[in-house]
Structure 1
């Protein structure tokens, strides 16, 4: 079993998350909101600050070869836009790289942190902390949000996959493997002949290999009798 994402948090991440837990506890916020935020931040660190994960929106296709993309729901898209365009982003203590990564729909659809809660934390830990709404009233009971993204599939086929008739059959693959084996075997035989009889004679030796071997055997037998 791999390490939990939280184990990849940096020292500064842990310090910040501790403050978030403390604030949430004081304000009566369900701590599962903080758990989710910490988990997603840990995933970001685990995957080299998100660079090891590719957004779904970069080259995803269905079986027919139609491009697929993902977007947030209208509500979450509005929240993401407020965070990215708000004045708190530039001064927040929360890693801006993580925030932008979390707000990429092609990445964020697979994460669990609540965007409304993230928005409040971005503001709370910035120079505009006085603008934070009453946290306890909104986040006192954790609510799981499902189906919070929209899958879009293009009409046009832009990725052409090989048809069944074009794909190599098992019989073709076997024939190709045998052909490769025969070529390799032939090359090996040539190298053996060169090593045994000398390179200059190797090409003329293939046809008389058996007679040469019989001659050698005769010499060997004669030596033994002598």
Structure 2
């Protein structure tokens, strides 16, 4: 995962603290993995500046319908609550990233868990509900892949110069033959730990407990 190398020093310090906090809370660390991956991807794309924006009316399906993407109602409500919350003002998690990933024109097709991110924002801020526990909702990882709303225009068009055909594959239930979700997540987590200068969680926690930042 080359994106991990794009994380800033502050990003890595925060993620180390988030991993430790989530582990102490009994949360599935897959939620932290997803947050780390999303943040690293944002950094790799020049803080989102070179990330293609959706919903500009220039993407078509194979039949000529214009394609638009948006959050589910639940994700939209959480995203709105995040950007309007007090915790956003003082959180250690990059505010530019938060506003970027909660914008449906950028984050609707693939984003980390907003409910978990909201907990992180508040926990690592000087405002918000810092002492609110994670709770049992995050004890087992639940993927949000393909959890978005896809809307087609009623009319059909002939794409012109600069327009693109939708490249998203249809939602599938089949799994890769030799890879598992857990193995992929473990590989990603290992990559992020190495990027932060640690070989394992034990070495990460040892550093944190000793206060050597």
TM-score band (shorter)? 0.5 to 0.7
| Contact 1:92/1:125 (<8 A) preserved | yes
Within 2, Cα distance between the matches of 1:130 and 1:104? 23
Aligned 1:1-226 pairs, distance under 5 A:
3-58=1-56, 59-157=58-156, 161=160
Query: Aligned pair count?
Result: 160
Q: Deviations along 1:174-222, whole A, 9 cap, x unmatched?
A: xxxxxxxxxxxxxxxxxxxxxxxxxxxxxxxxxxxxxxxxxxxxxxxxx
Deviations 1:15-46 (A, max 9, x none): 11111111111111111111110011000001
SS at match of 1:153: strand
Q: CA deviation at 1:117?
A: 0.4
Q: Which has the higher contact order (CA 8 A, sep 6+)?
A: 2
On the 8 A contact 1:8/1:45 being kept in 2, the answer is yes
Deviation >6 Å, runs of 4+: none
Alpha carbons of structure 1 residues 160 and 5: separation in structure 2 relative to 1, 3 Å: closer
> Residue in 1 aligned with 2:186?
none
Give the structure with higher Rg (CA): 1
Separation in structure 1 between the aligned mates of residue 97 and residue 63 of structure 2, nearest angstrom: 34
What TM-score do the two structures reach when normalised by structure 1?
0.64
Instruction: Answer 1 or 2: which has greater helix percent.
Output: 1
Deviation at 1:131, TM superposition (A): 4.8
Q: Structure 2-normalised TM-score?
A: 0.68
* Contact 1:76-1:148 within 8 A present in 2 as well: no
From the superposition, tell whether residues 124 and 68 of structure 1 become closer, same or farther in structure 2 (CA, over 3 Å): same
